[in-house]
Structure 1
Amino acid sequence: MKSSKFSPTEIAKILKEFESGKSLDTIVREYGVSKVTFYKWRQRYGGMEASELKKVKQLEEENAKLKRMYAELALELDMAKYVIEKKL
């Protein structure tokens, strides 16, 4: 997963600015973020405080790491089964 150039605190600040009435075009231009990215942030993190946002980001990173670990272990298991079957 590509890491964001924006910290959770900055994302929360950008979302708060939009909620307080700042136009989307101004935010996009000011921070150099695409509208698609902004709407994804809004969908995923809307209404969260910076501390909650940090926790969600941490959990997402941990989840991605665990998925990679599981995939590696599953591959090793498949290889072990294949080797055992070939020997018999």
Structure 2
Amino acid sequence: MKEKRFSVEQMVGILKQAEAGVSVTGVIRKAGTSEQTFYRWKAKYAGLEVYQVRQMAQLQEENLRLKRLVADRTLDTTMLKDVLSKNGEAFAAWT
């Protein structure tokens, strides 16, 4: 996974500077980032505080973990049903 160059505090700080009235060009030049990156951050983090961004990241990680758990359980259930149906067919053929 690619290492992030800016921390959450830095990203939010850069956005706050632009909100305070500093020109976007000046902010991105000072930060050493591109205009595209700035607007991507703005779309994702505009109006949020640092703790809210961290909380959002935690919730996304937890959501991903829960989705994996559900997928694993669904796979287990499907495999068990498949095995049971095959065992039932084999038992019926044997008798």
Is TM > 0.5 for Structure 1 vs Structure 2?
A: yes
Q: Name which one, 1 or 2, has greater alpha-carbon Rg.
A: 2
TM-score, length of structure 2 as denominator length: 0.68
- Alignment partner, residue 57 of structure 1: 57
- Alignment partner, residue 21 of structure 1: 21
Flag the structure with more relative contact order, 1 or 2, with Cα contacts below 8 A and sequence separation at least 6: 1
Alignment partner of 1:67: what SS? helix
TM-score, length of structure 1 as denominator length: 0.73
- Alignment partner, residue 47 of structure 1: 47
Q: How many residue pairs get matched?
A: 86
Would the aligned equivalents of 1:8 and 1:57 in 2 still touch at CA under 8 Å? no
1:7 to 1:73, Cα distance in 2 relative to 1, 3 A: farther
Gaps of 5+ in 2: 89-95
1:80 to 1:70, Cα distance in 2 relative to 1, 3 A: same
Root mean square deviation, CA, Å: 2.4
Would the aligned equivalents of 2:9 and 2:50 in 1 still touch at CA under 8 Å? yes
Distance in 2 separating the partners of 1:31 and 1:79: 52
1:3 to 1:79, Cα distance in 2 relative to 1, 3 A: farther
